[in-house]
Amino acid sequence: MTDRIIHWFRRDLRLDDNTALLAAYDGATEVVPVFIFDRAILSRPDTGPVRVKFLLDALAALDANLRARGGALILRAGLPEEELARLVAETGAKAVYYNRDVEPFALARDARVAERLRETCAVRGFEDGDLHPPDSIKTKGGTVYTVFTPYKRTALAIPVPKPRSAPEAFRVPAGLASNPLPTLAELGHATEVQIPPGGEGPARERLEGFVRRHLADYDRERDLPAKTGTSGLSPYLRFGCLSPRRAFHAAEDATAGLTGPARAGADVWISELLWRDFYRQILFHFSYVENGSFKKSYDELAWERNDDLFEAWKAGRTGFPIVDAGMRQLATTGWMHNRVRMIVASFLTKDLLIDWRRGERHFMETLVDGDLAANNGGWQWAASTGTDAQPYFRIFNPVSQGQKFDPTGAYVKKYVPELASVPEKWIHEPWNLPLEYRKPFRCVLGTDYPYPVVDHARQREKALALFKKIE
DNA sequence: TGAAATGTTGGGGCG
DNA sequence: ACGCCCCAACATTTC
């Protein structure tokens, strides 16, 4: 007899190494793959159009991949608990499978679904989004790690499951209604920003290209925003177009047998994958970080409003070239190099003295890879309010950071074209450009490019004082 | 996955 | 030859 399991896609938009999907495939003769557009998510103010655009792409790719295997993606819209109950009734499915999430919103939603379907069918969540599930790594004392380095040491000693390939062929029930894939505009979003194509095909291509061309140099080049030293895989990991275990083993396999410096690149990249796991387990176990400081005493920090400065930061008009380049890269591409994310976050919190949550929100609105766990973790790190935080006195100097990581100014010049003719020597501190050079180099401050909106040395002192009041 | 202030050392210019 | 000063280079401390 035919039995059916519904696979509910959420942040696992792939067939490859998809834990719940493979379990459904193994456990039933027919799998019903469904994605539900949830108004509650789509209308959230921090759901940015670039991410919705990427999502639509990923769904189209997912549907195409399913069709190539004899399946098709069922699209519904509404409240997940209602739509799933309806779909269970339509199909007579014996179970709903999904991969677990770590976000408070998702956990509450999934609890509602389980409650709604409790007497109708089985509902099972699987671990899929990490190298190591968020509840699987604990200290000897049984507590959750809140410092990265010991977390990583423990994690590296635990084997990462080998990725499993996608099921070969699907059998799906005939005649199920499915909505057409909506357009971005139909979902109430619009953007001109060009982003990478969504889907697991592009994800695998990018992974393979990165491993082949950049992995070996990752330890040396990942911090240089003018180079393509990073993997660019963050949006694919964000939407589950790429299995993190697939990513891990691609790096492992490429460096098998190598030791020492030869695998330094892979080691550092794997460490970045573990940062992702680390912040996911932090959000899972300390859900209050969504709204407040991990270190609760830092909720008392007296951040300033400084609305004009916030607008200047968002627009990339702070007068600090590396900061402005980063913010403009974000605005025009929906992505920002990680080193520069740290610099602009330090600048917002420690130079403009603005609450990290406002920066976090802006990132969520604009980043194609915007993810609560990673974004919140990164912002709290920069603001010194989080786990494993940089001590509060670690304040980036936007000039020396620029000189160190963009020594020729190539990155600055790419995104801040008005500085294109400024010589290397002054590219990160145009206010020190001798007056007689300003006209010939088309860098008249206040006309061609803004004066610095703050004095770094002075703001640094104010930031230190702000934190000192809490200690 | 800092930066700035302060301390120490040592070479060289100079009287 | 010698002490003194300057200052760069490096190390240490402090925030």
**Region A446-469: what's the mean pLDDT?**
95
The DSSP annotation for A349-392 comes to IIIS-B-HHHHHHHHHHH-TT--HHHHHHHHHHHHT-STTPPPT
Confidence class for position A393, pLDDT limits 50, 70, 90: confident
Mean pLDDT of chain A: 96
- Of A444, A382, A450, A357, the closest CA to residue A45 belongs to A357
Q: Which nucleotides of C are covered by protein (CB under 7 A)?
A: 15
Predicted confidence at residue A274, as pLDDT, reads 97
Q: What is the pLDDT of residues A24-74, one digit of tens each?
A: 999 999 999 999 999 999 999 999 999 999 999 999 999 999 999 999 999
Confidence class for position A365, pLDDT limits 50, 70, 90: very high
> Which residue is closest, via its CA, to the C1' of B2?
A394
A394 closest-nt by C1' vs CA: B2
Decide if A286 contacts A376 (C-beta within 8 A).
no
CA A283 to chain centre: 14
> Annotated catalytic, A397?
no
Q: What is the pLDDT of residues A164-199, one digit of tens each?
A: 999 999 998 989 999 999 999 999 999 999 999 999
d(CA A281, CA A286): 8
Q: What's the pTM?
A: 0.96
Residue whose tokens read 């007579």: A92
CB-strand contact A463/C, under 7 Å: no
Residues 6+ apart with CB under 8 A from A1: none
d(CA A359, CA A131): 28
Predicted confidence at residue A2, as pLDDT, reads 84
DSSP state of A138: B
Q: How far is the CA of A22 from the C1' of C3 (A)?
A: 84
> Annotated catalytic, A179?
no
**Region A243-270: what's the mean pLDDT?**
95
CB-strand contact A468/C, under 7 Å: yes
A395 closest-nt by C1' vs CA: B2
In this predicted structure, the answer to whether residue A390 has a pLDDT above a threshold of 80 is: no
Predicted confidence at residue A197, as pLDDT, reads 98
Between A259 and A155, name the one with better pLDDT.
A155
Decide if A312 contacts A450 (C-beta within 8 A).
yes
Predicted confidence at residue A134, as pLDDT, reads 97
Provide the 10 A C-beta neighbour count for residue A99. 21
